């Protein structure tokens, strides 16, 4: 789950602003004032929230039908847990069960019986990840419900499996399959884990591309809207699965070319035309995919405030190198130790460049992105890697491959 970018559309001549969480609500159940700021009713939980959803992942109807909260929560694919059950499953949300923290809240490791799905003794039964929402009101609830809605219906090997949820008083929780290798963000940017090899990076890119491609090509298209390294989770074999569907949105239907929304997403990953106009298309996800592909190649964060000037923005910094075969090694992750095929790296860089095209229409569809990545992964290495070149010359700004200042906060913030 994610914080949101709150940007009020420059196209309408509206100033950017940062709202408190009670005002962080999007079009579906908010009214827009002339200033573009969404207002919400003061009630903390809407009783009959309608959001767009689908009848079945494998058999979407053409016209998405809004479902009530009651309908969403009665999904036959999901177990409704009591708060007590999840308290027991996580040993009372003990700090040593903590897996991570995001904008939504804390994520704990828990154990449940795989048949009855009731809490089991720690160490026995099935391991799960339990996400506990910080009590922050309406926006949190809406994203929580959107996630239950989508993941209650969409099933694919590259989407994280939602096992169940808990709604009790102020408490909102989600129970997922446990992804033992955590997020891609942890592996790329945090100190500790072994650096990912080239082939694992390509495997992750392919898995994530399959997940996005599935969403975009569903009978009723789904736009994911929050594609970023922290939302790509990895299982024991580095199979990638997309998590966090709180911002997901139904794609345009009929003759419409886009959906108009309040801009939400994560700075550094969101497509420029979407940020500027609020017009959302599947090509916005393709742009974000290009940013993550660049992160995989360079080992750098989309936005890194510890860097100087224009180097803070990965896309701006890396773009000039991507189409240049001879200079590409300058932006490649030094943690790869030069162990990557030159041709494959160049193909991946060219692909990233296409995804990052400022013209949304010129970006390739995810099916094409996936095909190219599969080609890169299966093509034979040319027998040469970049080790020598990388030793000889370093990119000007890459003094150290270790992230300074530990984890740079990458949770979304309001755009300036």
Ligand X SMILES: Nc1ncnc2c1ncn2[C@@H]1O[C@H](COP(=O)(O)OP(=O)(O)OP(=O)(O)O)[C@@H](O)[C@H]1O
The CA distances from residue 385 to 320, 346, 377, 410, in Å, are 21, 12, 15, 32
**Residue 84 token pair:** 């007590």
- φ/ψ (deg, to 5) at 223: -100, 125
- Among 244, 273, 285, 295, the residue binding Mg ion under the rule CB under 5 A is 244
Which of residues 21 and 411 has its CB atom nearest to ligand X in the complex?
A: 411
Q: What is the distance, to the nearest Å, from the Cα of residue 357 to the centroid of all Cα atoms in its chain?
A: 20
226 catalytic? Reply is yes
Residue 181: CB minimum distance to ligand X, A: 8
Which of residues 53 and 231 has its CB atom nearest to Mg ion in the complex?
A: 231
Q: Which of 227, 233, 238 is nearest to 195 (CA)?
A: 238
231 contacts Mg ion (rule: CB under 5 A): yes
Whether the Cβ atoms of residue 93 and residue 87 lie closer than 8 Å to each other: yes
CB atoms within 10 A of CB 120: 17
Residue 141: CB minimum distance to ligand X, A: 15
Residue 156: CB minimum distance to ligand X, A: 15
Whether the Cβ atoms of residue 146 and residue 162 lie closer than 8 Å to each other: no
Which of residues 178 and 198 has its CB atom nearest to ligand X in the complex?
A: 178
Residue 294: CB minimum distance to ligand X, A: 19
From the list Mg ion, ligand X, none, pick the one residue 346 interacts with, judged by a Cβ distance below 5 to 8 Å according to partner type: none
Whether the Cβ atoms of residue 153 and residue 75 lie closer than 8 Å to each other: yes
**Considering 113, 149, 226, 397, which one is annotated as catalytic?**
226
Residue 410: CB minimum distance to Mg ion, A: 11
Stretch that binds Mg ion, among 25-33, 149-157, 206-214, 231-239 (CB under 5 A): 231-239
Which of residues 245 and 321 has its CB atom nearest to ligand X in the complex?
A: 245
Q: Which of 364, 284, 304, 313 is nearest to 275 (CA)?
A: 284
From the list ligand X, Mg ion, none, pick the one residue 347 interacts with, judged by a Cβ distance below 5 to 8 Å according to partner type: none
Which of residues 143 and 304 has its CB atom nearest to Mg ion in the complex?
A: 143
Which of residues 119 and 179 has its CB atom nearest to Mg ion in the complex?
A: 179
266 contacts Mg ion (rule: CB under 5 A): no
Query: x/- string (CB under 5 A) for Mg ion, residues 99-118?
Result: ---x----------------
The CA distances from residue 249 to 109, 148, 226, 285, in Å, are 29, 13, 10, 11
> Three-state secondary structure along 144-173?
HHHHHHHHCCCCCCCECCEEEEEEECCEEE
Q: Identify the H or E element spanning 291.
A: helix 282-298
Query: x/- string (CB under 5 A) for Mg ion, residues 63-102?
Result: ---------------------------------------x
From the list ligand X, Mg ion, none, pick the one residue 88 interacts with, judged by a Cβ distance below 5 to 8 Å according to partner type: none
Whether the Cβ atoms of residue 80 and residue 70 lie closer than 8 Å to each other: no
Residue 129: CB minimum distance to Mg ion, A: 11
Q: For tokens 């449940």, name the residue.
A: 112
Please provide the distance, in angstroms rounded to a whole number, between the alpha carbons at the two ends of the chain: 22
Q: For tokens 């479902």, name the residue.
A: 67
Helix 282-298 / helix 198-216 crossing angle, nearest 10 deg: 170
Interacting residue ranges for ligand X, rule: CB under 6 A: 1-3, 99-104, 107, 129, 131, 160, 176, 178-179, 182-183, 186, 230-231, 233, 243-244, 411
From the list ligand X, Mg ion, none, pick the one residue 160 interacts with, judged by a Cβ distance below 5 to 8 Å according to partner type: ligand X
109 is in an annotated binding site: no
Q: Residue 361 gets which letter from DSSP?
A: G
Query: Which of the residues are catalytic?
Result: 226
List of residues contacting Mg ion (CB under 5 A): 102, 231, 244
Q: Which residues are annotated as a binding site?
A: 132
Q: Which residues are annotated as a binding site for ATP?
A: 132
């Amino acid at each position: 789950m994610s914080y949101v970018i709150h940007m009020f559309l420059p196209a309408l001549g509206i100033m950017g602003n940062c709202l408190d969480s009670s005002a962080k609500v999007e079009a579906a159940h908010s009214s827009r004032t002339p200033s573009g700021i969404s207002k919400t009713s003061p009630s903390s939980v809407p009783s009959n929230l309608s959001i767009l959803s689908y009848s079945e992942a494998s058999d979407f109807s053409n016209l998405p039908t809004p479902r009530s909260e009651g309908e969403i929560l009665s999904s036959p694919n999901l177990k409704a847990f009591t708060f007590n059950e999840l308290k027991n499953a996580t040993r009372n949300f003990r700090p040593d069960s903590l897996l991570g923290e995001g904008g939504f809240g804390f994520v704990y490791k828990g154990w449940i019986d795989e048949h009855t799905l009731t809490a089991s003794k720690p160490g026995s039964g099935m391991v799960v990840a339990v996400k506990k929402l910080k009590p922050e009101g309406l926006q949190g609830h809406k994203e929580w419900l959107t996630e239950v809605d989508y993941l209650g219906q969409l099933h694919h090997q590259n989407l994280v499996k939602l096992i169940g949820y808990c709604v009790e008083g102020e408490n909102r929780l989600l129970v997922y399959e446990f992804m033992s290798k955590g997020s891609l963000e942890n592996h790329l940017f945090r100190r500790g884990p072994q650096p990912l090899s080239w082939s694992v990076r390509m495997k992750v890119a392919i898995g994530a591309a399959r997940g996005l491609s599935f969403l975009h090509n569903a009978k009723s298209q789904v736009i994911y809207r929050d594609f970023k390294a922290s939302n790509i989770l990895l299982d024991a074999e580095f199979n990638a699965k997309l998590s966090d569907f709180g911002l997901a949105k139904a794609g345009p239907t009929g003759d419409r070319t886009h959906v108009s929304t309040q801009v939400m997403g994560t700075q550094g990953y969101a497509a420029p035309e979407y940020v500027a106009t609020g017009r959302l298309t599947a090509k916005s996800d393709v742009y974000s995919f290009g940013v993550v592909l660049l992160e995989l190649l360079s080992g750098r964060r989309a936005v890194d405030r510890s860097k100087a000037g224009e180097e803070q923005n990965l896309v701006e910094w890396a773009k000039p190198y991507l189409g240049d075969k001879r200079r590409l090694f300058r932006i490649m992750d030094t943690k790869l130790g030069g162990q990557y095929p030159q041709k494959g790296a160049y193909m991946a860089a060219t692909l990233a460049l296409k995804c990052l095209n400022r013209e949304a229409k010129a970006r390739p569809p995810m099916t094409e992105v996936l095909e190219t990545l599969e080609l890169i992964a299966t093509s034979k290495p040319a027998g040469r890697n970049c080790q020598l070149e990388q030793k000889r010359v370093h990119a000007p700004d890459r003094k150290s491959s270790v992230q300074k200042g530990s984890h740079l906060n990458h949770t979304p913030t309001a755009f300036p």
